[in-house]
Amino acid sequence: MNDQAISAGGRAWVKGVRDAIPLLGGYIPVAISFGLIANQSGFSSWEAIIISLVIYAGASQFLFVGMVASGAPLWLVVVMTLLINARHLVYAPNLAPWLTGNRWWFWLMHGLTDQVFALAHTRLPALPSSERLGWFTGAMLLAWFSWVGGTALGAFAGQELTGRWPLLNDVMPFALPALFVVLLAPRFTSWLWAAALGCAIVVALLFAANGLPNVAIPVAALLGAAVFFVMQSNTRAEV
Amino acid sequence: MAGELWVAVIVAAAGTLLMRLLPLVWMQRRLAREDGQGGAAAMPRWLGVLGPVMIAAMLGASLVPAAGTLNAWVATIVGGAVTLLVWWRTKSLGWPVVWGVVAFGVVRFLAVTVN
């Protein structure tokens, strides 16, 4: 690798970190909650941190510690954790056309969370191929470390933090929907896409508002995709 | 943590990693087979649609405020509108998020102060 390529990789890494900064507003408060809840469920602070380090999947971690605390059989805990994470199956294939042949990509997939996928799906196609690995490494590592760091904060000092700044804990998570708005806005390019995306937004919102956040994303995405293909086939039939 | 609980953590972690990794291996092989077309053109159509609608579903699920009060919903609408407006003007990634969070926070702060 020549000096120019190394320099481009380094710049891309910084660019990835910069692009992932909005994720912190959503990750850190939720990770603090996870650390706190894991502690209250009987896990030590270090156990909570290790769970965040190796599983690294928000909703399923809450489910994992909650089910263990309630005395559920461990095989069921594992099955439910994996079922919640099953939506991740479609993320990497969606990014594959923009990933280079480098073997590091396989290990970096550990950091392919919902939010990192959303960010990468928008940013990777716009980057030259020489910068993609560096960009993804920077973005993924910042998100991962913020999740683990937030868990540590929550596990060691969660009660004090949420007691001292309750409003901050309420406001910062809005960074996630704000980021999704920015990532999604350029995709409203036609009535077809507007209908499909609008359907997915509304259905997910209704499910989540009615206490079903875990099924909200896969169900809403499938309905949104169905709207897309039905409308597309109707348009073709009319033509 | 008991030994069997560590095994559960390791199996859940390995399973999650494999669900993120194996589909990449499958897709890269598929792309390599359809060498001539390459890139996004070789991706199945349904997969290309599923990506953006997954992001839309994440947006919908994340819009539900934790507080669940009327003020929190108003703050969400105001924050979302400001985010969209700043994106429209700047077409950037960071500033719309910053101003969206500020707008959301101002509405939430006003509600706490007034009450």
What residue spans define the domains of chain A? 3-171, 188-239
- A105 with B40: Cβ contact below 8 A: no
- The gap between the terminal CA atoms of chain A, to the nearest Å, is 53
How near does any CA of chain A get to the CA of B102, in Å? 8
Q: Does residue B44 sit in the same domain as residue B72?
A: no
Contact A100, A133 (CB under 8 A): yes
Q: Does residue B7 lie in a domain region? A: yes
Listed residues B12, B28, B53: the one ending a domain: B53
Say if residue B37's pLDDT is above 80: no
Contact B104, B76 (CB under 8 A): yes
Task: Using CB atoms, pick whichever of B16, B28, B112 lies closest to residue A167.
Answer: B112
Residue of B4, B19, B27, B62 for testing the chain A interface, max A β-carbons within 10 Å = B62
- B62 with A26: Cβ contact below 8 A: yes
Number of domains into which chain B is organized:
2
How near does any CA of chain B get to the CA of A131, in Å? 17
Residue of B22, B59, B71, B78 for testing the chain A interface, max A β-carbons within 10 Å = B59
Question: Measuring CA to CA, which residue among B8, B85, B110 is closest to residue A50?
Answer: B8
ipTM of the complex: 0.84
- A221 with B75: Cβ contact below 8 A: no
Q: Does residue B39 sit in the same domain as residue B5?
A: yes
Looking at B3-69, list the stretches that DSSP marks H as alpha helix, in order from N- to C-terminal side: 3-33, 45-62
Q: Does residue B115 sit in the same domain as residue B90?
A: yes
What is the per-residue pLDDT across A176-199, written as a single tens digit (0 to 9) for each?
889 889 889 988 999 999 999 999
Supply the pLDDT for residue B1: 67
Question: Measuring CA to CA, which residue among A86, A169, A184, A165 is closest to residue B51?
Answer: A184
Chain B's closest residue to A43, CA to CA, is: B1
Q: Does residue B9 sit in the same domain as residue B46?
A: yes
What is the per-residue pLDDT across B75-93, written as a single tens digit (0 to 9) for each?
999 999 999 999 999 887 7
Task: Enter the tokens of residue A32.
Answer: 């603090």
Question: Measuring CA to CA, which residue among B76, B71, B83, B50 is closest to residue B61?
Answer: B76
What is the per-residue pLDDT across A137-186, written as a single tens digit (0 to 9) for each?
999 999 999 999 999 999 998 878 877 877 777 887 888 889 889 889 98
Q: Does residue B114 sit in the same domain as residue B82?
A: yes
Question: Measuring CA to CA, which residue among A51, A24, A64 is closest to residue A151?
Answer: A51
Contact A143, A113 (CB under 8 A): yes
Supply the pLDDT for residue A3: 53
Instruction: State the residue range of the domain holding B19.
Output: 1-53
Q: Residue A16: pLDDT band by 50, 70, 90 thresholds?
A: very high
Task: Using CB atoms, pick whichever of B9, B23, B43 lies closest to residue A54.
Answer: B9
Q: Does residue B49 sit in the same domain as residue B67?
A: no
Q: Does residue B58 lie in a domain region? A: no
Of the ranges A122-126, B37-41, B78-82, which one carries the lowest mean pLDDT score? B37-41
Q: Does residue B93 lie in a domain region? A: yes
Listed residues B53, B74, B91: the one ending a domain: B53
Q: Residue A72: pLDDT band by 50, 70, 90 thresholds?
A: confident
**B-chain residues near A56 (CB < 8 A):** 13, 16
Q: Does residue B67 sit in the same domain as residue B49?
A: no
In Å, how far are A125, B34, B35 from B22, measured between CA atoms?
21, 19, 20
- A114 with B58: Cβ contact below 8 A: yes
